[in-house]
Amino acid sequence: MIRLLAAALVVALAGLPLSVLPSLPLAWLTVPVLLLGLGGVAIRSVPLATSGAALALIEYTFTLVITGGRVDVLTATGFGAAVFFLLELVSFADRTHRATIGSAVLASQLRRWLGIAALGVAGTMLVTIGAETLRVALPGGTLPLVVILSALGALTALAGTVRLVSRPSSPSSASSRSR
């Protein structure tokens, strides 16, 4: 069931750009998104799912560049939340493979995921409000701030990835490391 939800997220991420601009070049970009994303879901591989999600982001960006459209904050936030849930679901499916999971564990995990997603949405709203305030206060002078904030965002994503990869896979491996 977890992998089915993750597969649905891959299809949604791959299909969003095509819903904005149905075209052959985007359709060709959708193929590797689906192959990598669904492949990552099928074999419970976070790196493959991450590659698929990154290509989906490139596809979405390509769509916005071609159409000349502005970034819709709600769509972008939903896209980011979908990527987050995709990677969390694939990681959870990998960690719990062949395990019986109780409803309390699922409820706890769902609360954790929703809390993190809520923080992400709140952060997005805060940054959007700050960016609009700066745009009005300093017309044309916001590019350096955008570059700095983008670098901080990339650094945060890198730190999160390192934390996810370096997390012990089971309590027994954590106790053996501390010896």
Q: What is the pLDDT of residue 15?
A: 92
Check residue 178 and give its pLDDT: 47
- pLDDT of res. 8: 95
Nearest to 157 by CA among 65, 60, 69, 53: 53
User: What per-residue confidence (pLDDT) applies to 174?
Assistant: 46
What does pLDDT average to in each consecutive run of 10 residues of the chain (179 residues)? Answer: 91 91 86 94 93 91 83 84 91 89 88 86 80 74 68 76 69 46
Domain that holds residue 69: 2-100
Give the model's pLDDT for residue 35.
95
**Is residue 38 assigned to a domain?**
yes
Q: What is the pLDDT of residue 169?
A: 61
CA distances to 14, 23, 33, 59, 108 from 28, in Å: 11, 9, 9, 10, 39
pLDDT value at position 75? Answer: 86
Domain-embedded: residue 13 = yes
Give pLDDT, residue 143: 65
Q: What is the DSSP letter of 178?
A: -
What's the CA gap between 86 and 49, in Å, rounded?
Answer: 8
Q: What is the pLDDT of residue 176?
A: 44
Q: Is 44 domain-assigned?
A: yes
* Domains: count for the chain: 1
Considering the domain boundaries, does residue 75 fall inside one? yes
Specify if 167 maps to a domain.
Answer: no
